[in-house]
Structure formats: structure tokens, C-alpha cells
């Protein structure tokens, strides 16, 4: 069969076509760093067939032109780094520059907590943890909030759907958001996965499903806040709320995610008193 004989041509077996494959590493351990990209980058499957667990007979999955120019991944260049500026923090490393591979040392201001993985001085390497994602100093502790929750600084990281929140900054760096404004929202969230509210959503939220869904962390807004908050002042039910054929119940005011907001907003606009009463605010 052609699949059995095409090993050398496909670049995954020796020239004799026998089903023996080798990883064509440029330096020891290179393929281990590429494992997560085996399914995404065809050139890596060609370069690291053993690590990627490629069946040598399945050469047909590789394009002929691709294999003749297998990408060579050399060790990344090194150099010294300028200490970054981190909000509400002080960098403790001595000297004006960090040496290659030196770990960043950070101390937060009083009232802020240090979160995020350790990061080191390196030129960005696509196949290693993202060095753009610096440790962050975040204000934590306030599980209560007013209105929409702009003041929420708690540590809830699970949504009403039961999904775990994604790291805000990691979602931004993945670049899978649907529009630019959402990317800015993710960037503002910072290097953590706690529920927050940076805009006009009715409750604190986070992103799930690779940044595609804005999932809500609470069912209802809280009392108080500003006049623009859902229950920031006494609300009334408008005539449309009692229109013939309108069949609604107080629990219909509850939110689940950004899609439910579109359906529920009419209730909050026309039946504000009912919704705020259900939320325990009047």
C-alpha cells in the first residue's frame, strides 16, 4: 500500500519506508515543548512524529510540499529585560536590567494580593508559557456588592452555568474574542479568573468556552448603586407590563448569561418594580 511505502517521502520514517520514526529535534527536549501543538501545527507533526504519536503509515495526512520544508525551531534568543511596571506593586529585582532567565520578584501594595504564575526574563517564546502575562496585584475580599457589582472584588470564579471562569488576560492573548471591544474588556480584567463587572452588564460576569460566552456569576443585581443601576432607585411598572397577553412571573427577571440579558431586558425596562421587588430591593 502507498501509505506503507511513503514513509521517507512524508518525512516521518526512514528512507527504506519501514515503520520506524524519529523526532527531528534541533536540541534535546525540543519536541516535548511542542506536544500541545501537535494537533494544531502540521509541521510539528512532521518534525516530532514520535512525540506526537503519529502512525508512520498515515503519511497521507501531510501535504507533500509541507514536508520538504520542515520548519526548524531553534532555541529562542536571549537578552536582558527592563523591569516591567505593575499596577499597585513594586519590582524587587536589583539593578536596572534583569538577566536572562531571572525570575521577576514583585511586592504588592497594602490591601492587594499577588496572583499569577511566576514569570522570567525572556524574549517571548511561542511554545512556552506566555511571558506577557505578568503577576498582578489585585484587590480581593469584598464578596458583597451594590447595584451591578462594579465594586465586587470577591473570589467567585464559577458561573451560574457551572462553568469555571477563564483567566481574563489569557483569553485576550488567545485572540478568540468576537469583537475588539470584548478584547479590551478581557484586557481590563487582568491576570486572574474572578468574576467582575467592568461595563453595563446587570451583574458580575466572566468569560467561558474559550472566550466565546460572557457568563453571569449572579442571578440578580443587588440593591443600591447609582441611579443607572437596575435597582439604584425606586422603580415602577409601566403599562406595558400589564398588557393583555403578557404572561410573566417575577422569576423571569433572573439572568444566566449575555444571551438571557437580551430576553430579560424588556422586563427590567417595563416591569422594574416587579423585578426589583423580586431582587429584595423594594
Question: What 3-state class would DSSP assign to 20?
Answer: coil
- Which one has a higher pLDDT value, 45 or 197? 197
91: Cα within 13 Å, side-chain hemisphere: 22
* pLDDT, tens digit (0-9, with 9 covering 90-100), for 250-270: 889 999 999 888 888 888 988
Residue 1: the pLDDT is: 37
* pLDDT, tens digit (0-9, with 9 covering 90-100), for 107-118: 999 999 999 888
212 — pLDDT class (breaks 50, 70, 90):
confident
Residue 56: the pLDDT is: 61
Q: What is the mean pLDDT of residues 191-218?
A: 92
Residue 200 has pLDDT above 80, yes or no: yes
135 to 79, 91, 103, 113: CA distances (angstroms): 21, 11, 11, 10
Q: What is the mean pLDDT of residues 87-110?
A: 92
Residue 231: the pLDDT is: 93
Closest to 93 (Cα-Cα) out of 101, 105, 81: 105
Q: Which pTM was predicted?
A: 0.70
DSSP 164: B
Give the rounded distance of the alpha carbon of 6 from its chain centre: 41
Give the rounded distance of the alpha carbon of 24 from its chain centre: 33
* Residue 216 region by backbone torsions, left for phi larger than 0, else alpha for psi between -120 and 50, else beta: beta
Residue 225 has pLDDT above 80, yes or no: yes
Closest to 193 (Cα-Cα) out of 205, 181, 180, 201: 205
Choice among 6-15, 145-154, 211-220 with the minimum mean pLDDT: 6-15
Cα–Cα dist 151/139, whole Å: 10
Q: Is 226 exposed, middle or buried, given 0-12, 13-18 or 19+ CB atoms closer than 10 A?
A: exposed
Residue 11: the pLDDT is: 45
Cα–Cα dist 34/89, whole Å: 34
Q: What is the mean pLDDT of residues 27-53?
A: 77
Residue 273 has pLDDT above 60, yes or no: yes
Cα–Cα dist 209/6, whole Å: 39
Mean pLDDT over all residues of the chain? 81
Amino acid at each position: 500500500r502507498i501509505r506503507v511505502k511513503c514513509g521517507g517521502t512524508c518525512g516521518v520514517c526512514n528512507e527504506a519506508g519501514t515503520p520506524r520514526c524519529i523526532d527531528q529535534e534541533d536540541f534535546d527536549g525540543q519536541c516535548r515543548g511542542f506536544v500541545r501543538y501537535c494537533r494544531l501545527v502540521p509541521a510539528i507533526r512532521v518534525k516530532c512524529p514520535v512525540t506526537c504519536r503519529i502512525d508512520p503509515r498515515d503519511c497521507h495526512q501531510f501535504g507533500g510540499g509541507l514536508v520538504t520544508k520542515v520548519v526548524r525551531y531553534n532555541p529562542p534568543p536571549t537578552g536582558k529585560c527592563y523591569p516591567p511596571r505593575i499596577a499597585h506593586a513594586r519590582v524587587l529585582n536589583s539593578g536596572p536590567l534583569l538577566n536572562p532567565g531571572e525570575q521577576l520578584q514583585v511586592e504588592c501594595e497594602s490591601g492587594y494580593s499577588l496572583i499569577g504564575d511566576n514569570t522570567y526574563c525572556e524574549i517571548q517564546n511561542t511554545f512556552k508559557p506566555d511571558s506577557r502575562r505578568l503577576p498582578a496585584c489585585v484587590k480581593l475580599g469584598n464578596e458583597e456588592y451594590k447595584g451591578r457589582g462594579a465594586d465586587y472584588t470577591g473570589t467567585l470564579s464559577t458561573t451560574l452555568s457551572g462553568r469555571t471562569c477563564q483567566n481574563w488576560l489569557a483569553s485576550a492573548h488567545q485572540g478568540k474574542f468576537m469583537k475588539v471591544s470584548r478584547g479590551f474588556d478581557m484586557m481590563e480584567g487582568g491576570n486572574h479568573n474572578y468574576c467582575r463587572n467592568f461595563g453595563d452588564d446587570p451583574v458580575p460576569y466572566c468569560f467561558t468556552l474559550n472566550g466565546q460566552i460572557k457568563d453571569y456569576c449572579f442571578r440578580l443585581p443587588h440593591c443600591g448603586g447609582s441611579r443607572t443601576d437596575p435597582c439604584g432607585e425606586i422603580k415602577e411598572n409601566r403599562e406595558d407590563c400589564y398588557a393583555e397577553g403578557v404572561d410573566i412571573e417575577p422569576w423571569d427577571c433572573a439572568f444566566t448569561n449575555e444571551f438571557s440579558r437580551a430576553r430579560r431586558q424588556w422586563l427590567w425596562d417595563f416591569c422594574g418594580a416587579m423585578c426589583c421587588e423580586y431582587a429584595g430591593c423594594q
